[in-house]
Amino acid sequence: MALYMTFPVAMFHWFNQPEYFEKWVTDTRRQLYPPENPQHREEIEKCIRNVRERHDQELMKALEEMERKEKN
């Protein structure tokens, strides 16, 4: 009976040490969310701008075609 009570308490005590927990959380967070790289951020923003510009150009072409059809 003592083993059934001691084991969970010991595991709780062992794994809830602040040093262990803080190190584990910090390492896991860095793996999941690495520090942001400014160069990657610029590339992503440039790509977004390019896609938006292409989309805007396609919309303008479609609007111009609709206007031409309406005039005829």
Q: Tell me the mean pLDDT in the region 53-67.
A: 95
Where do runs of H (alpha helix) occur along the chain?
2-15, 18-32, 38-71
pLDDT for 54 equals: 97
Angle between helices 2-15 and 18-32 (to 10 degrees): 60
Give the integer Cα–Cα distance in Å for 35 and 32: 10
pLDDT for 19 equals: 81
- At 15-56, the pLDDT tens digits run 878 887 788 888 999 999 888 888 999 999 999 999 999 999
pLDDT for 58 equals: 97
Place 71 in a pLDDT band, splitting at 50, 70 and 90. confident
Tokens read off for 15: 């794994």
pTM: 0.50
Q: Provide the residue ranges of all domains of the chain, joining segments of one domain with +.
A: 1-34, 36-71
